């Protein structure tokens, strides 16, 4: 078991500042070697590393335009029906396209379809049950094979195949049939009205380059995808880099993409990335925090790209017995400690969320209150109260008392745990994230103040957000408390359904489908989510999402900490990039337009 040292609140900032200073000194002063770039092609000399503070080299000796993006979370895989990492969405977006996408203003626009279907343009029937997609002609996959309606049909077939292990079938399961009238016309027939139908085909799988749907977990495509996007994957060296080159079969050629090569460099942490973009060794640094902005705001060589985002950092609490593998009956197999609502309420009362925002984020964001914090369906939920006295009283009432005087409460007449069991919970997030590590230290102290021991066992992103087939503990329900950010899209239904519907717990029976990792069962919320997805009226949908948000706030499968903005850094010579908080492909949504001077 890992030992955790609880640091005094005042000392945390000092320790972090000292560590950051030491890191910069090591990187800048000790001239540590940069990560090795992908080998240059025969007869071509790779561009030399740039000097500290100068603009990074944008072209090779042969005139190629090369952009290097720093990513502190390595994807586990890139298949859209299996992946669960935001970092994987970003990386896959260089290769992958769907029928439609969403722009920074939250408006749908056509990609592989000629237009976005609607009742007004005659592509959606009056009852909403039939949707017609007119597909672009003369589009080919990166291997030269034609893109046709059969690929759209295949995508649906894989998603609903019970043996495929698709992680999220929301929307696909509402489709009764897909008919290909010809190679470039797909007619989607729904079994019932499904309001967010435009969110279903934000990706398409190539039938010819994948395999048997029942064997999807083993497809080579998962790690070497074929797409219709502006780039194609040339190489993936685990722990080092993914190298993308311009797709010669992209329909935008020869004008787009503007870049010849895009290197995703895997870095150990956000803090290392900050040093690398400052010294000019990378051009783009993904996923900064509000606390990082002052450091770069006045740097003329770096652009801070930011926008309010729908994501919220939260604690995900496991309500089921973590010793069982993906139980489908959490009500009869509750978590021995977190199964009691009073314990979950005490945890929330014991967290001073505003202090975390002020201390770690310089007051530059807001306290988290609900799953839907931005957009047309935003929920109206009041901030939680910080009240350690109420927390202690709830724990006493729940039968958790510190009888041995060691500062940690034990079960004495509690609902589910054995007599004498200490109130001790494993607390996990992604490694290499300084803000999260600082947050953990503060929350550890706050929990200790009310007699709960949190202990830390952080893991790499690919392990925390791993797939069902890989045995990832989040998917299999073998954890106590997780901390990370997740966010909804412009239509929040997939997020609400996937994370909070009682039927979306990953289990053996459903092949790991769904994101209800808390294994929360709430009929009122599930029925409200169903009503929201089945109504064409935005007011009715918003009303039902509000009901679901209220149930979440009452029963606390998640505890929301603070809202997150989308913040990314680029060198000043990077052009064409736009922050997008709504695209399913994260920040790579318009990679064809990226350029470098």
Both structure tokens of 268: 């150990």
537, part of any domain: yes
User: Chain-centre distance of CA 499, in angstroms?
Assistant: 12
Length of the chain: 597
Both structure tokens of 193: 């009205």
pTM exceeds cut of 0.75: yes
37, part of any domain: no
Q: Which domain-ending residue is among 213, 241, 269?
A: 213
CB 188 within 8 A of CB 175: yes
CB 308 within 8 A of CB 290: no
73, part of any domain: yes
Residues 484 and 581 in one domain: no
Q: Is the dihedral of CA 220, 222, 224, 229 positive or negative?
A: positive
Query: How many other C-beta atoms are found inside a 10 Å radius of the C-beta of residue 18?
Result: 10
Residue with tokens 């939920």: 381
Residues 500 and 370 in one domain: yes
- pLDDT tens for each residue of the chain, 597 residues long: 222 222 333 333 333 333 443 333 333 333 332 222 222 222 322 232 333 334 455 666 678 999 999 999 999 999 999 998 999 999 999 999 999 999 999 999 999 999 999 999 999 999 999 999 999 999 999 999 999 999 999 999 999 999 999 987 889 999 999 999 999 999 999 999 999 999 999 999 999 999 999 999 999 999 999 999 999 999 999 999 999 999 999 998 999 999 999 999 999 999 999 999 999 999 999 999 999 999 999 999 999 999 999 999 999 999 999 999 999 999 999 999 999 999 999 999 999 999 999 999 999 999 999 999 999 999 999 999 999 999 999 999 999 999 999 999 999 999 999 999 999 999 999 998 899 999 999 999 999 999 999 999 999 998 999 999 999 999 999 999 999 999 988 999 999 999 999 999 999 999 899 999 999 999 999 999 999 999 999 999 999 999 999 999 999 999 999 999 999 999 999 999 999 999 999 999 999 999 999
Q: Is the dihedral of CA 513, 517, 518, 519 positive or negative?
A: positive
220, part of any domain: no
Residues 233 and 269 in one domain: yes
396, part of any domain: no
For position 254, what pLDDT does the model report?
Answer: 93
445, part of any domain: yes
Residues 446 and 560 in one domain: yes
Beta bridge partners of 305: 568
CB 423 within 8 A of CB 451: yes
For position 57, what pLDDT does the model report?
Answer: 56
CATH of the domain at 556: 3.10.105.10
250, part of any domain: yes
Residues 429 and 364 in one domain: yes
The domain of 465 spans: 309-335+360-383+423-565
Residues 505 and 587 in one domain: no
Residues 152 and 195 in one domain: yes
Q: Which residues contact 163 (CB under 8 A, 6 or more apart)?
A: 213, 214, 511
Distance (Å, whole) CA 217 – CA 158: 11
CATH of the domain at 165: 3.90.76.10
CATH of the domain at 236: 3.40.190.10
For position 24, what pLDDT does the model report?
Answer: 37
Beta bridge partners of 570: 284, 303
Distance (Å, whole) CA 581 – CA 488: 9
Residues 511 and 596 in one domain: no
Distance (Å, whole) CA 58 – CA 299: 19
| Domain count along the chain | 3
Is residue 64 classed as helix, strand or coil in its secondary structure?
A: coil
Beta bridge partners of 177: 189
For position 59, what pLDDT does the model report?
Answer: 67
Q: Which residues contact 371 (CB under 8 A, 6 or more apart)?
A: 312, 379, 488, 492, 495, 496, 499, 500, 548, 549, 552, 558, 560
298, part of any domain: no
Number of H helices, E strands in the chain: 14, 19
Listed residue (80, 91, 75, 74) closest to 164, CA to CA: 80
Q: Which domain-ending residue is among 213, 247, 275?
A: 213
Residues 583 and 552 in one domain: no
Residues 149 and 74 in one domain: no
Residues 495 and 579 in one domain: no
Residues 474 and 545 in one domain: yes
């Amino acid at each position: 078991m890992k030992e955790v040292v609880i640091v005094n609140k005042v000392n945390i900032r000092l320790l972090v500042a000292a560590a950051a200073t030491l890191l910069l000194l090591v990187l800048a002063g000790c001239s540590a070697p940069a990560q090795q770039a992908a080998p240059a092609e025969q007869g071509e000399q790779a561009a030399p590393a740039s000097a500290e503070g100068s603009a990074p080299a944008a072209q090779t000796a042969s005139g190629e335009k090369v952009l290097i993006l720093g990513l502190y979370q390595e994807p586990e895989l890139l298949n859209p029906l299996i992946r669960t990492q935001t970092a994987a969405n970003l990386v896959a977006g260089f290769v992958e396209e769907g029928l439609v996408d969403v722009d920074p203003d939250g408006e749908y626009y056509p990609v592989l379809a000629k237009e976005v279907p609607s009742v007004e343009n005659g592509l959606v029937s009056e009852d909403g049950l039939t949707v017609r997609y007119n597909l672009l002609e003369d589009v080919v996959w990166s291997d030269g094979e034609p893109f046709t309606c059969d690929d759209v049909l295949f995508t649906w077939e894989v998603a609903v195949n019970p043996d495929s292990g698709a992680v999220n079938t929301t929307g696909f399961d509402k489709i009764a049939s897909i008919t290909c009238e010809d190679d470039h016309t797909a007619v989607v027939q729904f079994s019932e009205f499904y309001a967010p139908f435009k969110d279903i085909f934000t990706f398409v799988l190539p039938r010819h380059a994948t395999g048997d749907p029942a064997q999807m977990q083993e497809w080579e495509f998962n790690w070497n995808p074929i797409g219709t996007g502006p780039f194609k994957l040339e190489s993936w060296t685990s722990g080092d880099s993914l190298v993308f080159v311009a797709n010669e079969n992209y329909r935008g050629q020869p004008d787009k993409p503007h870049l010849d090569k895009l290197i995703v460099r895997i870095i150990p942490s956000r803090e290392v990335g900050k040093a690398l973009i400052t010294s000019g060794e990378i051009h783009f640094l993904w996923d900064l925090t509000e606390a990082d902005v002052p450091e770069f705001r006045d740097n003329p060589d770096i652009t801070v790209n930011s926008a309010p985002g729908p994501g919220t950092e939260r604690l995900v609490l496991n309500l089921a017995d973590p010793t069982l593998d993906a139980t489908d009956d959490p009500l009869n197999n509750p978590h021995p400690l977190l199964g009691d609502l009073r314990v979950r309420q005490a945890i929330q009362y014991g967290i001073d969320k505003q202090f975390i925002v002020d201390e770690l984020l310089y007051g530059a964001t807001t306290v988290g209150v609900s799953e839907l914090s931005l957009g047309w369906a935003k929920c109206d939920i009041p901030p939680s109260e910080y009240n350690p006295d109420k927390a202690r009283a709830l724990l006493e009432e729940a039968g958790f008392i510190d009888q041995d005087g060691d500062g940690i409460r034990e079960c004495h007449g509690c609902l589910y745990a054995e007599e004498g069991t200490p109130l001790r919970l494993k607390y996990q997030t992604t490694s290499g994230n300084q803000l999260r590590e600082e947050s953990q230290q503060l929350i550890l102290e706050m929990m200790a103040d009310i007699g709960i021991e949190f202990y830390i066992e952080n893991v790499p992103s690919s392990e925390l957000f791993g797939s069902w087939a890989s045995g990832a503990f989040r998917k299999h329900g073998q954890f106590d408390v997780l901390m990370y950010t997740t966010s909804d899209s412009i239509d929040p239904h997939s997020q609400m359904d996937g994370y909070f519907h009682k039927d979306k717990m990953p289990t053996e029976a459903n092949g790991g489908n769904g994101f209800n990792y808390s294994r929360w069962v709430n009929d009122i919320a599930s029925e409200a989510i169903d009503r929201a997805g089945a109504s064409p009226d935005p007011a009715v949908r918003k009303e039902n999402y509000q009901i679901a948000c209220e149930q979440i706030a009452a029963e606390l499968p998640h505890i929301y900490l603070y809202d997150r903005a989308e913040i990314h850094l680029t060198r000043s010579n990077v052009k064409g990039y736009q922050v997008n908080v709504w695209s399913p492909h994260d920040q790579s949504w318009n990679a064809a337009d990226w350029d470098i001077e």
